[in-house]
Amino acid sequence: MPEFTFGDRELGTCQRLVYTSRIATASDASGGHRVRRSGEGADFLDYRRYVEGDDVRRIDWTVFARLRQPYIRILQHETVLHVNLLVDVSRSMAAGTPQSKAALACRLACALAYVALTNGDRVTVATFADSLGHMLANLRGRAALTRIVTLLKSAPLGGTTDLSAGISAFRERARHRGLVVILSDFLAPAGYQEPIRMLLAKRFRVFAIQVLDRLDWGEGLAGSLRLRDSETGRTADVLASDRYLDEYRRRLRGHAERVDSFCTRRGQFYLYANTREDYAQLIARGLRERGLLR
């Protein structure tokens, strides 16, 4: 089971973020849902704090006079953003220091869920390895975050990565189009291209977050070694010379670049994350740079 925390400090980091309009607009194609946008629609839904880039004309100055903090009125429109979070809990995700790849993936998933729930969006969360695991669907409201944290903390770590099987099962159960966030190391031999194509064919938006550890990059390896694949159990005898490690890292870097290119060429999103990074900085900086949050 992934060992991670997600508490008040994390919530403070996330509460000022919202999903960008380009995500919401792209995922509203089904037309029968509900989405909130500042200043649109006729019915008042809630308030949220003003963030840089918002239209200052949307500030509720009555609230500002009372709280001395700028807030924006959120009004209802016809559709909502559905955020679907798929977290890889295969055996390879158990590796990592100072936190496991699974722990970082779970923290990022919780943060993205909280941003959506805070702004009135709907959230679906599921784990996967060689098949789709437990799934919580169509959650709403901040109180649902506790259920998400509980699900992820209790997810068993094990099995091989079969992204195609997980995506196929998710597609069959998904009721609404929207954003699909895949959190994985994307090191499965079967690849990632076809599963992402399956989502795009159903008009989902895709955001791939690739989580790697320094061991994935060969750090700390030297001399004659017998390496064992944590998922398949296969072994290989290698001589971890500088030349060998340089070539290995070049190939892994090329793999990450290809995942990025595959997504961006199709108008989708990609983010690289490593287990030495603070996930809050990834949320605040990395996702903003990628255009997912603001």
Query: 42: which 2 tokens?
Result: 């006729």
For residue 43, the model assigns a pLDDT of 60
Torsion of the alpha carbons at 96, 230, 85 and 271, rounded to the nearest 10: 60
Q: pLDDT digit string (tens) for 179-208?
A: 999 999 999 888 899 999 999 999 999 999
For residue 83, the model assigns a pLDDT of 94
| Distance (Å, whole) CA 202 – CA 187 | 24
For residue 32, the model assigns a pLDDT of 35
Mean pLDDT of the chain: 84
Residue 54 in 3-state DSSP? coil
Strand partners, 37: 75
Q: 188 or 288: which carries more pLDDT confidence?
A: 188
Q: What percent of the chain has pLDDT over 90?
A: 50
| Distance (Å, whole) CA 111 – CA 119 | 13
Highest mean pLDDT among 33-37, 104-108, 175-179 belongs to: 104-108
Mean pLDDT for 129-141 is 93
Mean pLDDT for 91-104 is 94
Domains in the chain, CATH or no CATH each = 8-15+81-289 (3.40.50.410), 36-76 (no CATH)
Mean pLDDT for 147-166 is 93
The widest CA-to-CA distance across the chain, in whole angstroms, is 70
Q: pLDDT digit string (tens) for 232-245?
A: 778 888 888 999 99
For residue 288, the model assigns a pLDDT of 74
What is the full DSSP assignment across 211-277? Answer: EE-TTTTTTT--EEEEEE-TTT--EEEEEE-HHHHHHHHHHHHHHHHHHHHHHHTTT-EEEEEETTS
For residue 188, the model assigns a pLDDT of 85
Residue 285 in 3-state DSSP? helix
For residue 31, the model assigns a pLDDT of 34
- Cβ–Cβ < 8 Å for 181, 165: no
Q: pLDDT digit string (tens) for 71-92?
A: 887 665 545 789 999 999 999 9
Residue 198 in 3-state DSSP? helix
Q: pLDDT digit string (tens) for 57-71?
A: 778 898 888 888 888
For residue 44, the model assigns a pLDDT of 63
For residue 222, the model assigns a pLDDT of 86
For residue 55, the model assigns a pLDDT of 72
Examine the pLDDT at 224 and tell me if it is beyond 50: yes
Omega before 98 cis (within 30°)?
A: yes
For residue 37, the model assigns a pLDDT of 46
| Reported pTM | 0.80
3-state helix, strand, coil in the chain (%, to 5): 40, 25, 35
Examine the pLDDT at 118 and tell me if it is beyond 70: yes
For residue 79, the model assigns a pLDDT of 57
Sign of the alpha-carbon torsion through 83, 89, 93, 95 = positive
pLDDT interval class at 10 (50, 70, 90): low
For residue 272, the model assigns a pLDDT of 94
